[in-house]
Structure 1
């Protein structure tokens, strides 16, 4: 009957139709933010290699360390004695001394760490053969390196407010994933079907394929991302015990990390020889010594903590990234605490949080698992991008066909805004990411607040991409931004060679696969962007040829 005519909306149809509405709109309004979070999180998997590429001044230092890796220098006792002597001379009032005597093989230089007067982590590197401080290797460019992608991924460089925004987006992602599975009745069957050159059908097939392929990964990464920030999203327990506001949060962090740290006794006591503690701790936890930490040095209440190295084999066999640890009383040599590798302080809840953090941050499994996360992250980004594009492909033909719009008289303006946001969120963010790497080579090394200028290039280029996408026609905006993206990616190795005299072949020849990997991935992205640009250009030319033919037929 006419009066029973169906209309679209959340309240119409059955349960599956309601889930389709939820999937479409929840997915659309959060897809742009989720794409940004997912893409930067994918890049954050290799934050250390990116930081390595962005600090070329360290390469000579790292090459020297690699060449001297087999040179033992002083033995463990001598290295620890040199570290204590340096700290007693230069930082006697520090509340903590942290000594890294060697690498996991017992070689390499000695490193010492402490908290300065601003409670910032400070460090120095000592020669393993003489115990003398090593000179700095010239001026090093200030940069956030790959940590920029880490920070943006989980809090958008916006502190606690950004953390809340990303958390809400993560919940929306879980809603979209679950409702998407319910909506697509033949989701697993369609996974094995791809119909090319079919417009909306092709985009839906691509969206289904990348979604189903990595569905367990997407659910896991969204859930663990929310869970590891649970104390922020559910702060009632912290507020009840430690108070509200920043002071309560600070008290909670102090209690979490220093709950068992003894108060200074006021009685002076020289730091004892550290080698016996290190060797005993190594035997108790079954790991080579990574660090020896002295809390409250120079006081009778001082503690000596011995921490171990995680081997690659260990991290492939367990999810928790914690190392072994033995805590001693400096005065009596009594064992105060013993933690075996993989254990955590606290009960099952602490272990669960540790495992979830390890799952989310891929702190186990080595390079093979990092690459798996990277590829799954790219697939997740593609899932969000194809979903956002599919929204407009599905509605564009209806709108051009003069069908009634879902936003009434504002339909054309809303669709135009969505088209522009699609371009800026996908191509524009990619431009910002590659522009960040270009800024690292082009911003002068000695410029004040240099790291901030690199971030300004990232956000500035992204903002310009949004403005460009809203001003230009969608088809032209896609072509122009993808063309620029291809150009910047493909020319990155050339830029690196011109600015720091380091070429991609030279990186491969010396085995610097961290730097080579960054540039090879940039080239791969550039080739993909160039293919997309050529495809859109060819499709646009075909459409332009069809329009005159249609006009001639109408005129005839």
Structure 2
């Protein structure tokens, strides 16, 4: 009698049914975008705290704030009418032909009296005015104040990769593929909720799969929401056909935005009309919308069609109670004094569509809920980042044990490339992010175009890490890059002391939790990176199995029958 050994049949996606097809789709669609998605998620997570990062990256401004931290609060404006008159006089003299004047007369931290207008060539012009005299205040950058893009670097990279409209489209396509990977992943994992409560450490491939499943299931609603709202944010760019159908081919986007943002803006009549005092309208508007007036916008100044719109100011309590960030708005026709438009705080001028757009935007950019919601987004963002990273690593762990020979004789080269990209995209990008903070302290303050050099440092460090990952063995590359990441993160507070004289203890003592939070967060990431480097160092390499070698040599074989002997 012959003893027959039958190897397991390797089914193709077409032979294995829906779940097998979805597993194939999830693996390969997820792999090719995992590196870019990791970058988008990591920078988006850091962008949640872009203002504290900017605060840390402008230490001169931060120390000046600390010096005035105990000053009494600025009194509420009692001469708003006078401020409005000063701003109107300035605009009448300097920009009489502008068809929109905007005035901010409030007295808040970093706000005094400001004027804005539309430039003839497009875009905003602005000037800060002395609230007592109306004279223009010149803001010359001091030689000791560093030029930096600050935390907004992470915002820009998150949604456009610093590549303009092309970057926006790349991010959009990547996000669409992410949704495909999320849906196919849900279909693939028939025990998805059980997997969430399962983690088996030190089990190689099984551990990576457990980690990938756990962070994915934990934040699955967040991942769907953040991907969908990100697409909705630029919906008029991604799906321009409805806009073109409504407004035609010539300047369709401009006409659409004009209708969207300037609801009910009157057309000029050509008949002159003197501008009346605006303070009475500001008082009426405050009664109507229930908010302090933040901005006064005058359309068609000195024309009989003149309209003034008063915008309210969202207090912190407003952002805790509403998802929509829209402030109150009341508009008046100055020829008759009639109220022509009213928007309550949280509502929309353009109905349900406008409110939906505002809510989608606020959901994506966490413009509600205050600091607790920002921390929730931060940790969910980290979980999403981990989901991308563990998925990319899981691919290599599986292929190291069992290669499918998907690329024939080039399979091992492809896997080597994937391994290099894994190291550079995960550890290398993390090093580039903290390297960006180091560049902020190391580049001399007086260097011309200094903010650009910080960006060059970010991309330069990332490129060096890619070259390093390709030149070193995979395990050594992980250890060395994670070790470097740990050192840079843990030494960031030391660098700050040496470069500015400020230190973590002083930041905490004066209540500067923005600066302290950046350094404490950096140290936490440093400890995590050090633990990761130690775990990789302790890991023992497993020799490739005979099955893996056989499949690599004959990737198209699906069934082998061998006669081993007789009994």
TM over 0.5: yes
2:81 equivalent among 54, 77, 83: 77
Is the 8 Å Cα contact of residues 102 and 117 (structure 2) preserved in structure 1? yes
* 1:176 maps onto 2:181 in alignment: yes
Equivalent in the alignment of 1:390: 394
Residue 480 of structure 1 corresponds to 480
CA drift at 1:499: 2.4
Tell me how far 1:419 sits from its aligned partner. Answer: 0.3
Q: CA deviation digits over 1:91-146, x for unaligned, max 9? A: 444433322222579x9633333344553434444455665555636244332222
Shift of 1:498: 2.5
TM-score (norm. length: structure 2): 0.88
Comparing 50-59 with 433-442, greater Cα deviation is found at 50-59
Does residue 289 (structure 1) correspond to residue 297 (structure 2)? The answer is no
Write out aligned runs for 1:28-427 (5 A): 28-59=31-62, 62-63=65-66, 67-72=71-76, 74-103=78-107, 109-116=112-119, 118-128=121-131, 133-134=136-137, 136=139, 138-139=142-143, 140-244=145-249, 247-258=251-262, 260-399=264-403, 405-427=405-427
Q: CA RMSD in A?
A: 2.7
| Aligned mates of 2:13, 2:39 — CA distance in 1 | 27
Give the drift of 1:74.
4.6
SS at match of 1:157: coil
Please report the TM-score for the alignment, with normalisation by the length of structure 1: 0.89
Give secondary structure in 1 for the equivalent of 2:469: helix
SS at structure 2 position matched to 1:272 = coil
Alpha carbons 1:72, 1:128 under 8 Å: kept: no
Deviation of the 1:4 alpha carbon: 11
SS of the residue corresponding to residue 261 of structure 1 reads coil
SS at match of 2:321: coil
- Equivalent residue, structure 1, for 2:447: 447
Confirm or deny: 8 A CA contact 2:323 2:359 kept in the other structure.
yes
**SS in structure 2 at match of 1:316:** helix
Is the deviation greater in 451-460 or in 81-90? Answer: 81-90
Distance apart, 1:199 and its partner CA = 0.7
The more displaced of 382-391 and 487-496 is: 487-496
Runs of 4+ in 1 over 6 A off after TM superposition: 1-5
Gap regions ≥5 residues in structure 1: 545-556
Count of aligned pairs = 536
SS in structure 1 opposite 2:515? helix
**Distance of aligned partners of 1:468 and 1:244 in 2 relative to their CA distance in 1, 3 Å threshold:** farther
CA displacement, residues 154-180 of structure 1 (integer Å, 9 cap, x when unaligned): 121222222221112112111111211
Tell me how far apart the structure 1 counterparts of residues 122 and 445 of structure 2 sit (CA, whole Å): 27
User: Contact 1:97–1:114 (CA<8 Å) still a contact in 2?
Assistant: yes
Kept after mapping to 2: 8 A contact 1:20/1:180: yes
Q: Given the superposition, is the C-alpha separation of residues 147 and 397 from structure 1 closer, same or farther in structure 2, using an over 3 Å criterion?
A: same
Q: Which has the higher helix share?
A: 1
Confirm or deny: 8 A CA contact 1:290 1:309 kept in the other structure.
Answer: yes
Distance 1:273 1:149 in 2: 44
SS at structure 2 position matched to 1:516: helix
- In 2, the alpha carbon distance for the partners of 1:100 and 1:201 equals 59
Instruction: Answer yes or no: is the 8 Å Cα contact 2:272–2:303 preserved in 1.
Output: yes
Match of 2:465 in 1: 465
Which residue number in structure 1 is paired with residue 562 of structure 2? none
- The answer to whether the 8 Å contact 1:441/1:496 transfers is yes
